[in-house]
């Protein structure tokens, strides 16, 4: 847990710098201009602007929608706070907004269970601090995101490998409006 304490210090320094910049007029600490909020149990995702719902979408999730993601290939959609870390204009399922799974909390839990190495934990930690894409090649998996149905018929069943799927027209709408770094909150 030596890395955990060191990283916590780094995180505190980063947060302090962000609050200082906010207090000097650089940014607002409590304002997310845009955010996506997913409610797994309701199969809904909302696009929020400054906390107000702009639009709501029906979603399909991983094959086991009630559980949180644990490891690569488990077919589960993660739970937690993430951000959009990648945008692909073309993908297997139309368009793709990659999210930052695994996040720091996912990495902490995996490290405690000895599922990832110290180096993998550190790579995930620093990618999250930089709002970059975390490594997607660990035992935790990755390439989780929000995408369209592609060529699939629109069916309300959960069929993804852990992603959040919306109609192609909905991913087109989101892709054009959601920038990198947008928070993505996934709740039960």
Q: Does 45 share its domain with 93?
A: yes
Task: Examine the domain organization and report whether 13 and 65 are in the same domain.
Answer: no
**Shared-domain flag, residues 7 and 80:** no
Q: What is the residue-level pLDDT of the chain in tens, covering all 188 positions?
A: 455 555 555 544 444 434 333 333 333 445 579 999 999 999 999 999 999 999 999 999 998 888 889 899 999 999 999 999 999 999 999 999 999 999 999 999 999 999 999 999 999 999 999 999 999 999 999 999 999 998 887 766 899 999 999 999 999 999 999 999 999 999 99
Q: Are residues 24 and 66 in the same domain?
A: no
User: Residue 31: its pLDDT value, please?
Assistant: 59
Q: What is the pTM of this model?
A: 0.82
Q: Token digits for 112?
A: 């405690």
For residue 168, what is the domain's CATH number? 2.40.440.10
Which residue, among 41, 21, 38, 30, has the nearest Cα to 163 in the 3D structure?
38
Co-location of 36 and 26 in the same domain: no
Number of domains in the chain: 2
CA 115 – CA 112 distance, rounded (Å): 8
| 9 shares its domain with 66 | no
Amino acid 88: pLDDT? 97
The residue segments making up the domain with residue 52 are 32-187
Question: Which of 66, 119, 57, 127 shows the shortest CA–CA distance to 99?
Answer: 127
């Amino acid at each position: 847990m030596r890395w955990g304490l060191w990283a916590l210090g780094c995180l505190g320094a980063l947060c302090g710098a962000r609050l200082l910049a906010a207090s000097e007029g650089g940014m607002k600490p409590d304002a997310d201009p845009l955010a996506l909020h997913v409610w797994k149990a309701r199969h809904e995702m909302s696009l929020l602007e400054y906390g107000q719902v702009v639009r709501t979408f029906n979603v399909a999730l991983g094959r086991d929608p009630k559980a949180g993601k644990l490891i690569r290939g488990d077919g589960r959609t993660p739970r937690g706070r993430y951000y959009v870390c990648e945008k692909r204009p073309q993908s297997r399922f139309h368009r793709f907004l990659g999210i930052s799974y695994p996040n720091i909390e996912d990495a902490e839990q995996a490290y405690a269970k000895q599922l990832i190495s110290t180096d993998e934990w550190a790579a995930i930690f620093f990618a999250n601090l930089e709002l970059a894409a975390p490594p997607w090649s660990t035992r935790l998996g990755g390439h989780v995101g929000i995408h369209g149905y592609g060529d699939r018929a629109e069916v309300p069943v959960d069929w993804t490998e852990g992603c959040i799927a919306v109609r192609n027209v909905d991913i087109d709408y989101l892709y054009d409006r959601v920038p990198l770094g947008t928070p993505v909150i996934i709740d039960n």
